[in-house]
Chain A
Amino acid sequence: MTLPVLDHVDSPAAAPCVSRPNLNDLFSAFFLIGLTGFGGVLPWARRMLVERHRWLTDREFAELLPLAQLLPGPNVSNIATILGRQYCGAIGAVVAVGGLYLAPTIITIGLGYAYARWGHAPVTAHLLAGLMPVATGLVISTVLKLITSLPRDLRNAALVAATFIAIGVLKLPLLLVLAVLGPLGTWLMWRAADQGRSAARKE
Protein backbone atom coordinates (compact mmCIF):
# COMPACT_ATOMS: atom_id res chain seq x y z
CA MET A 1 0.00 0.00 0.00
CA THR A 2 1.25 3.44 -0.76
CA LEU A 3 1.10 6.02 1.95
CA PRO A 4 0.28 9.64 1.36
CA VAL A 5 3.48 11.26 0.23
CA LEU A 6 3.00 14.94 0.02
CA ASP A 7 6.26 16.16 1.35
CA HIS A 8 7.74 16.52 -2.10
CA VAL A 9 5.15 19.16 -2.85
CA ASP A 10 7.52 21.46 -1.01
CA SER A 11 10.58 20.49 -2.98
CA PRO A 12 11.63 22.67 -5.90
CA ALA A 13 11.60 19.58 -8.15
CA ALA A 14 7.87 19.16 -7.64
CA ALA A 15 5.42 19.36 -10.53
CA PRO A 16 4.60 22.56 -12.45
CA CYS A 17 4.08 24.14 -9.12
CA VAL A 18 1.65 26.37 -7.93
CA SER A 19 2.38 28.48 -4.92
CA ARG A 20 1.85 27.04 -1.49
CA PRO A 21 -1.58 27.86 -0.12
CA ASN A 22 -1.67 30.29 2.78
CA LEU A 23 -4.30 30.40 5.52
CA ASN A 24 -6.69 32.48 3.40
CA ASP A 25 -6.50 30.04 0.50
CA LEU A 26 -7.05 27.07 2.81
CA PHE A 27 -10.05 28.67 4.45
CA SER A 28 -11.78 29.71 1.25
CA ALA A 29 -11.11 26.39 -0.52
CA PHE A 30 -12.53 24.28 2.31
CA PHE A 31 -15.37 26.74 2.96
CA LEU A 32 -16.48 26.25 -0.66
CA ILE A 33 -16.08 22.48 -0.40
CA GLY A 34 -18.36 22.49 2.67
CA LEU A 35 -20.88 24.75 0.99
CA THR A 36 -21.11 22.92 -2.32
CA GLY A 37 -20.68 19.34 -1.15
CA PHE A 38 -24.14 18.04 -1.87
CA GLY A 39 -24.59 14.30 -1.87
CA GLY A 40 -21.12 13.33 -0.74
CA VAL A 41 -18.31 15.82 -0.36
CA LEU A 42 -15.40 13.85 -1.80
CA PRO A 43 -16.01 14.54 -5.52
CA TRP A 44 -16.24 18.24 -4.72
CA ALA A 45 -13.07 18.11 -2.66
CA ARG A 46 -11.25 16.46 -5.55
CA ARG A 47 -12.51 19.04 -8.00
CA MET A 48 -11.37 21.90 -5.76
CA LEU A 49 -7.99 20.54 -4.62
CA VAL A 50 -6.85 18.80 -7.79
CA GLU A 51 -8.53 20.54 -10.71
CA ARG A 52 -9.04 24.07 -9.55
CA HIS A 53 -6.17 24.84 -7.17
CA ARG A 54 -3.75 22.11 -8.24
CA TRP A 55 -2.45 21.74 -4.72
CA LEU A 56 -2.45 17.98 -5.30
CA THR A 57 -2.14 15.72 -8.32
CA ASP A 58 -4.81 13.07 -8.87
CA ARG A 59 -2.39 10.47 -7.62
CA GLU A 60 -1.57 12.37 -4.44
CA PHE A 61 -5.27 12.78 -3.78
CA ALA A 62 -5.81 9.04 -4.25
CA GLU A 63 -2.92 8.29 -1.93
CA LEU A 64 -4.38 10.55 0.73
CA LEU A 65 -7.68 8.64 0.74
CA PRO A 66 -6.77 5.34 2.45
CA LEU A 67 -5.40 7.20 5.45
CA ALA A 68 -8.36 9.61 5.55
CA GLN A 69 -10.68 6.60 5.50
CA LEU A 70 -8.78 4.73 8.18
CA LEU A 71 -8.88 7.67 10.59
CA PRO A 72 -12.14 8.21 12.49
CA GLY A 73 -14.56 10.93 11.34
CA PRO A 74 -15.69 12.00 7.88
CA ASN A 75 -13.04 11.47 5.18
CA VAL A 76 -13.20 15.03 3.94
CA SER A 77 -12.69 16.44 7.41
CA ASN A 78 -9.59 14.27 7.79
CA ILE A 79 -8.31 15.52 4.44
CA ALA A 80 -8.79 19.09 5.66
CA THR A 81 -6.88 18.31 8.84
CA ILE A 82 -3.99 16.60 7.05
CA LEU A 83 -3.59 19.18 4.26
CA GLY A 84 -3.98 22.08 6.67
CA ARG A 85 -1.23 20.61 8.80
CA GLN A 86 1.07 19.92 5.89
CA TYR A 87 0.75 23.40 4.45
CA CYS A 88 0.44 25.63 7.52
CA GLY A 89 0.86 23.52 10.66
CA ALA A 90 -1.62 23.41 13.54
CA ILE A 91 -3.24 26.74 12.62
CA GLY A 92 -3.64 25.50 9.06
CA ALA A 93 -5.51 22.43 10.30
CA VAL A 94 -7.80 24.55 12.48
CA VAL A 95 -8.50 26.98 9.64
CA ALA A 96 -9.17 24.25 7.05
CA VAL A 97 -11.49 22.26 9.33
CA GLY A 98 -13.22 25.43 10.54
CA GLY A 99 -13.76 26.56 6.95
CA LEU A 100 -15.13 23.16 5.99
CA TYR A 101 -17.71 23.05 8.78
CA LEU A 102 -18.76 26.70 8.92
CA ALA A 103 -21.48 26.63 6.26
CA PRO A 104 -22.85 23.13 7.05
CA THR A 105 -23.16 24.04 10.75
CA ILE A 106 -25.13 27.21 10.03
CA ILE A 107 -27.33 25.38 7.50
CA THR A 108 -27.99 22.48 9.87
CA ILE A 109 -28.97 24.80 12.71
CA GLY A 110 -31.27 26.60 10.27
CA LEU A 111 -32.81 23.22 9.44
CA GLY A 112 -33.30 22.60 13.17
CA TYR A 113 -35.32 25.80 13.49
CA ALA A 114 -37.23 25.02 10.30
CA TYR A 115 -38.08 21.56 11.58
CA ALA A 116 -39.26 22.97 14.94
CA ARG A 117 -41.51 25.39 13.08
CA TRP A 118 -42.76 23.39 10.08
CA GLY A 119 -41.91 19.83 11.11
CA HIS A 120 -45.57 18.88 11.28
CA ALA A 121 -46.81 20.77 8.27
CA PRO A 122 -48.30 18.62 5.46
CA VAL A 123 -45.70 19.85 2.97
CA THR A 124 -42.91 18.54 5.20
CA ALA A 125 -44.62 15.16 5.43
CA HIS A 126 -44.83 14.97 1.63
CA LEU A 127 -41.20 15.99 1.24
CA LEU A 128 -40.05 13.39 3.75
CA ALA A 129 -42.17 10.68 2.16
CA GLY A 130 -39.93 11.11 -0.87
CA LEU A 131 -36.65 11.77 0.93
CA MET A 132 -36.71 8.87 3.40
CA PRO A 133 -36.83 6.05 0.82
CA VAL A 134 -34.00 7.73 -1.12
CA ALA A 135 -31.86 8.07 2.00
CA THR A 136 -32.51 4.40 2.78
CA GLY A 137 -31.75 3.32 -0.78
CA LEU A 138 -28.45 5.25 -0.71
CA VAL A 139 -27.32 3.53 2.47
CA ILE A 140 -28.30 0.13 1.03
CA SER A 141 -26.35 0.82 -2.18
CA THR A 142 -23.26 1.77 -0.13
CA VAL A 143 -23.52 -1.52 1.75
CA LEU A 144 -23.82 -3.44 -1.55
CA LYS A 145 -20.82 -1.66 -3.06
CA LEU A 146 -18.68 -2.28 -0.02
CA ILE A 147 -19.72 -5.92 0.36
CA THR A 148 -18.78 -6.69 -3.23
CA SER A 149 -15.45 -4.89 -2.76
CA LEU A 150 -14.40 -7.20 0.11
CA PRO A 151 -12.37 -10.34 -0.60
CA ARG A 152 -14.70 -13.33 -0.61
CA ASP A 153 -13.38 -15.42 2.24
CA LEU A 154 -14.52 -16.75 5.58
CA ARG A 155 -12.61 -14.15 7.62
CA ASN A 156 -14.38 -11.22 6.00
CA ALA A 157 -17.80 -12.88 6.03
CA ALA A 158 -17.44 -13.77 9.72
CA LEU A 159 -16.41 -10.23 10.66
CA VAL A 160 -19.32 -8.66 8.75
CA ALA A 161 -21.80 -11.11 10.33
CA ALA A 162 -20.35 -10.71 13.84
CA THR A 163 -20.58 -6.91 13.61
CA PHE A 164 -24.14 -7.00 12.31
CA ILE A 165 -25.31 -9.41 15.02
CA ALA A 166 -23.51 -7.53 17.83
CA ILE A 167 -24.90 -4.09 16.90
CA GLY A 168 -28.06 -4.72 14.89
CA VAL A 169 -29.47 -7.71 16.78
CA LEU A 170 -27.91 -7.77 20.26
CA LYS A 171 -27.71 -3.94 20.42
CA LEU A 172 -24.34 -3.99 22.17
CA PRO A 173 -22.57 -0.62 22.59
CA LEU A 174 -20.37 0.37 19.63
CA LEU A 175 -17.32 1.07 21.81
CA LEU A 176 -17.36 -2.49 23.16
CA VAL A 177 -17.91 -4.05 19.74
CA LEU A 178 -15.08 -2.07 18.12
CA ALA A 179 -12.73 -2.73 21.04
CA VAL A 180 -13.17 -6.47 20.46
CA LEU A 181 -13.68 -6.79 16.69
CA GLY A 182 -11.16 -4.10 15.62
CA PRO A 183 -8.10 -5.84 17.12
CA LEU A 184 -9.51 -9.27 16.24
CA GLY A 185 -9.94 -8.27 12.58
CA THR A 186 -6.48 -6.68 12.47
CA TRP A 187 -4.95 -9.85 13.97
CA LEU A 188 -6.76 -12.11 11.49
CA MET A 189 -5.63 -10.04 8.50
CA TRP A 190 -2.09 -9.73 9.87
CA ARG A 191 -1.90 -13.51 10.28
CA ALA A 192 -3.30 -14.09 6.79
CA ALA A 193 -0.68 -11.73 5.29
CA ASP A 194 2.02 -13.44 7.36
CA GLN A 195 1.01 -16.87 6.06
CA GLY A 196 1.02 -15.48 2.54
CA ARG A 197 4.56 -14.17 3.05
CA SER A 198 5.95 -17.43 4.48
CA ALA A 199 4.21 -19.48 1.74
CA ALA A 200 5.89 -17.25 -0.84
CA ARG A 201 9.25 -17.78 0.86
CA LYS A 202 8.91 -21.60 0.76
CA GLU A 203 8.34 -21.56 -2.96
Chain B
Amino acid sequence: MWSTLADLLVHSALWSLLAVGGMNATLADIQRYAVDTRHWVTDEQFVTFFSITQAAPGPNGMAVALIGFQAAGLAGALVTTLAKIVPSALVAYHVSHWVERRNDSALITAIRRGLAPVTVGLLACAAYVFAREIDIEAGRIVLTIATAAIAYRTRFNPIWLVVVGAALGLAEVVN
Protein backbone atom coordinates (compact mmCIF):
# COMPACT_ATOMS: atom_id res chain seq x y z
CA MET B 1 0.00 0.00 0.00
CA TRP B 2 2.61 2.55 1.09
CA SER B 3 4.93 1.55 -1.70
CA THR B 4 2.12 1.96 -4.25
CA LEU B 5 1.35 5.42 -2.86
CA ALA B 6 5.02 6.41 -3.00
CA ASP B 7 5.23 5.09 -6.55
CA LEU B 8 2.13 7.09 -7.55
CA LEU B 9 3.50 10.19 -5.85
CA VAL B 10 6.85 10.05 -7.63
CA HIS B 11 5.48 9.27 -11.07
CA SER B 12 2.58 11.70 -10.93
CA ALA B 13 5.00 14.46 -9.91
CA LEU B 14 7.36 13.44 -12.70
CA TRP B 15 4.59 13.51 -15.32
CA SER B 16 3.42 16.91 -14.15
CA LEU B 17 6.96 18.27 -14.48
CA LEU B 18 7.44 16.72 -17.91
CA ALA B 19 4.08 17.90 -19.26
CA VAL B 20 5.49 20.31 -21.83
CA GLY B 21 2.60 21.76 -23.79
CA GLY B 22 -0.11 20.29 -21.60
CA MET B 23 -0.84 17.03 -19.81
CA ASN B 24 -1.77 15.12 -22.97
CA ALA B 25 1.88 15.17 -23.98
CA THR B 26 2.63 12.72 -21.17
CA LEU B 27 -0.19 10.32 -22.09
CA ALA B 28 1.92 7.75 -23.92
CA ASP B 29 4.41 7.60 -21.05
CA ILE B 30 1.61 7.27 -18.47
CA GLN B 31 0.20 4.40 -20.53
CA ARG B 32 3.60 2.73 -20.72
CA TYR B 33 4.11 2.91 -16.95
CA ALA B 34 0.60 2.48 -15.53
CA VAL B 35 -0.48 -0.26 -17.95
CA ASP B 36 2.61 -2.07 -19.18
CA THR B 37 4.94 -1.77 -16.18
CA ARG B 38 2.68 -1.58 -13.10
CA HIS B 39 -0.58 -3.13 -14.36
CA TRP B 40 -2.57 -0.61 -12.28
CA VAL B 41 -5.10 -0.37 -15.11
CA THR B 42 -5.78 -2.20 -18.36
CA ASP B 43 -5.32 -0.59 -21.75
CA GLU B 44 -9.07 -0.32 -22.04
CA GLN B 45 -9.50 1.30 -18.61
CA PHE B 46 -6.71 3.72 -19.42
CA VAL B 47 -8.46 5.02 -22.53
CA THR B 48 -11.80 4.93 -20.69
CA PHE B 49 -10.47 7.17 -17.90
CA PHE B 50 -9.13 9.71 -20.35
CA SER B 51 -12.43 9.71 -22.24
CA ILE B 52 -14.44 10.16 -19.02
CA THR B 53 -12.32 13.06 -17.76
CA GLN B 54 -12.53 14.65 -21.21
CA ALA B 55 -16.25 15.01 -20.49
CA ALA B 56 -15.74 16.38 -16.96
CA PRO B 57 -14.83 19.99 -16.09
CA GLY B 58 -11.38 21.11 -15.04
CA PRO B 59 -7.80 21.22 -16.26
CA ASN B 60 -6.36 18.46 -18.46
CA GLY B 61 -4.92 15.36 -16.98
CA MET B 62 -7.32 14.66 -14.11
CA ALA B 63 -7.37 11.12 -15.49
CA VAL B 64 -4.22 10.37 -13.51
CA ALA B 65 -6.35 10.78 -10.38
CA LEU B 66 -8.58 7.96 -11.65
CA ILE B 67 -5.52 5.79 -12.26
CA GLY B 68 -4.46 6.58 -8.68
CA PHE B 69 -7.96 5.67 -7.50
CA GLN B 70 -7.79 2.35 -9.32
CA ALA B 71 -4.31 1.61 -7.95
CA ALA B 72 -4.85 2.59 -4.29
CA GLY B 73 -8.40 3.85 -3.68
CA LEU B 74 -9.24 7.30 -2.30
CA ALA B 75 -5.74 7.81 -0.84
CA GLY B 76 -4.28 6.97 -4.23
CA ALA B 77 -6.51 9.52 -5.97
CA LEU B 78 -5.64 12.28 -3.49
CA VAL B 79 -1.90 11.58 -3.51
CA THR B 80 -1.85 11.51 -7.32
CA THR B 81 -3.81 14.74 -7.59
CA LEU B 82 -1.57 16.62 -5.16
CA ALA B 83 1.56 15.26 -6.80
CA LYS B 84 0.22 16.36 -10.16
CA ILE B 85 -0.50 19.91 -8.97
CA VAL B 86 2.24 20.94 -6.54
CA PRO B 87 5.56 20.40 -8.37
CA SER B 88 4.54 22.06 -11.62
CA ALA B 89 2.94 24.94 -9.68
CA LEU B 90 6.21 25.46 -7.79
CA VAL B 91 8.10 25.55 -11.07
CA ALA B 92 5.58 27.98 -12.57
CA TYR B 93 5.82 30.18 -9.48
CA HIS B 94 9.58 30.52 -9.49
CA VAL B 95 10.28 30.41 -13.22
CA SER B 96 7.64 33.03 -14.09
CA HIS B 97 9.13 35.33 -11.50
CA TRP B 98 12.60 34.78 -12.93
CA VAL B 99 11.44 35.30 -16.51
CA GLU B 100 9.69 38.57 -15.65
CA ARG B 101 12.85 39.98 -14.11
CA ARG B 102 15.18 38.71 -16.81
CA ASN B 103 13.37 39.37 -20.04
CA ASP B 104 15.90 37.10 -21.76
CA SER B 105 13.65 36.64 -24.73
CA ALA B 106 16.09 35.10 -27.27
CA LEU B 107 16.70 32.07 -25.04
CA ILE B 108 13.02 31.72 -24.12
CA THR B 109 12.11 31.87 -27.82
CA ALA B 110 14.67 29.18 -28.68
CA ILE B 111 13.37 26.91 -25.91
CA ARG B 112 9.78 27.45 -27.00
CA ARG B 113 10.54 26.79 -30.67
CA GLY B 114 12.65 23.77 -29.81
CA LEU B 115 9.98 22.23 -27.58
CA ALA B 116 7.10 22.88 -29.99
CA PRO B 117 7.90 20.00 -32.40
CA VAL B 118 8.66 17.69 -29.44
CA THR B 119 5.22 18.46 -28.01
CA VAL B 120 3.64 17.67 -31.36
CA GLY B 121 5.49 14.33 -31.48
CA LEU B 122 4.29 13.51 -27.96
CA LEU B 123 0.69 14.36 -28.82
CA ALA B 124 0.95 12.19 -31.93
CA CYS B 125 1.95 9.34 -29.59
CA ALA B 126 -1.13 10.07 -27.45
CA ALA B 127 -3.34 9.93 -30.56
CA TYR B 128 -1.68 6.62 -31.47
CA VAL B 129 -2.33 5.15 -27.99
CA PHE B 130 -6.01 6.14 -28.29
CA ALA B 131 -6.48 5.03 -31.89
CA ARG B 132 -5.01 1.59 -31.13
CA GLU B 133 -7.81 0.97 -28.61
CA ILE B 134 -10.68 1.80 -30.96
CA ASP B 135 -12.41 -1.37 -32.07
CA ILE B 136 -12.50 -1.90 -35.80
CA GLU B 137 -16.14 -1.03 -36.08
CA ALA B 138 -17.62 1.22 -38.78
CA GLY B 139 -19.61 3.55 -36.47
CA ARG B 140 -16.67 4.19 -34.16
CA ILE B 141 -14.27 4.84 -37.00
CA VAL B 142 -16.68 7.26 -38.69
CA LEU B 143 -17.27 9.08 -35.38
CA THR B 144 -13.52 9.35 -34.74
CA ILE B 145 -12.80 10.77 -38.18
CA ALA B 146 -15.83 13.09 -38.08
CA THR B 147 -14.81 14.45 -34.66
CA ALA B 148 -11.23 15.02 -35.79
CA ALA B 149 -12.41 16.80 -38.94
CA ILE B 150 -14.99 19.00 -37.19
CA ALA B 151 -12.65 19.93 -34.33
CA TYR B 152 -9.89 20.67 -36.84
CA ARG B 153 -12.00 22.73 -39.23
CA THR B 154 -14.36 24.62 -36.92
CA ARG B 155 -14.20 26.49 -33.63
CA PHE B 156 -17.01 24.78 -31.73
CA ASN B 157 -16.39 24.28 -28.04
CA PRO B 158 -15.31 20.60 -27.93
CA ILE B 159 -17.81 19.92 -25.15
CA TRP B 160 -20.56 19.84 -27.78
CA LEU B 161 -18.76 17.08 -29.64
CA VAL B 162 -18.43 15.17 -26.37
CA VAL B 163 -22.17 15.60 -25.75
CA VAL B 164 -23.03 14.39 -29.25
CA GLY B 165 -20.70 11.40 -28.84
CA ALA B 166 -22.29 10.46 -25.51
CA ALA B 167 -25.77 10.77 -27.03
CA LEU B 168 -24.87 8.63 -30.05
CA GLY B 169 -23.44 5.99 -27.71
CA LEU B 170 -26.46 5.97 -25.39
CA ALA B 171 -28.82 5.81 -28.39
CA GLU B 172 -26.78 2.81 -29.57
CA VAL B 173 -26.13 4.46 -32.92
CA VAL B 174 -22.47 3.80 -32.22
CA ASN B 175 -21.70 0.48 -30.60
Contact = CB atoms under 8 A, between A and B. Distances in A.
A139 B22 CA distance: 12
A53 B145 CA distance: 39
Contact of A129 (B112, B125, B174): B174
Contact of B92 (A81, A134, A163): A81
B117 A150 contact: yes
Contacts of B119: 146
B89 to A, nearest CB: 5
Contacts of B20: 70, 72, 178, 182
A18 interface: no
A82 B122 CA distance: 26
A156 B60 CA distance: 25
Contact of B16 (A37, A73, A184): A73
Contacts of A111: 52-53, 56, 66
B58 A131 contact: no
A144 B108 contact: no
Nearest to B30: A174
Q: What bracket does the count of chain A residues touching chain B fall in?
A: 35 or more
A99 to B, nearest CB: 12
Given A77-B85, A131-B166, A37 B148 contact: no
B70 A112 contact: yes
Contacts of B131: 136, 140
B122 A163 contact: yes
Interface in B73-103: 74, 77-78, 81, 84-85, 88-89, 91-93, 95-97, 99-100, 103
A31 to B, nearest CB: 11
Interface string A95-121: 001001101110111011001100000
A contact face: mostly helix, strand, loop, or mixed: helix
B53 A108 contact: yes
Given A35-B57, A41-B59, A186-B111, A140 B14 contact: no
Nearest to B166: A130
B4 interface: no
Given A104-B59, A109-B74, A129-B175, A140 B127 contact: yes
Residue in B18, B113, B140 whose Cβ sees the most chain A Cβ within 10 Å? B113
Given A73-B88, A104-B59, A143-B127, A109 B77 contact: yes
Secondary structure dominating the interface of B? helix
Interface in A137-183: 137-147, 150, 155-157, 159-164, 167-168, 171, 173-175, 178, 181-183
A134 B168 CA distance: 11
A146 B114 contact: no
A103 B58 CA distance: 8
26 contacts: A3-B100, A39-B161, A71-B91, A72-B88, A73-B85, A73-B92, A74-B60, A100-B59, A111-B53, A112-B66, A127-B169, A131-B51, A134-B164, A136-B148, A137-B150, A139-B126, A140-B130, A141-B149, A143-B126, A150-B120, A178-B20, A182-B20, A182-B118, A185-B114, A188-B114, A189-B110
Given A69-B22, A132-B134, 10 more contacts: A70-B112, A82-B96, A85-B93, A105-B62, A109-B69, A109-B74, A129-B175, A138-B54, A167-B122, A187-B110
The 6 closest A-B pairs by CB, nearest first: A130-B169, A163-B121, A137-B147, A104-B58, A185-B114, A73-B88
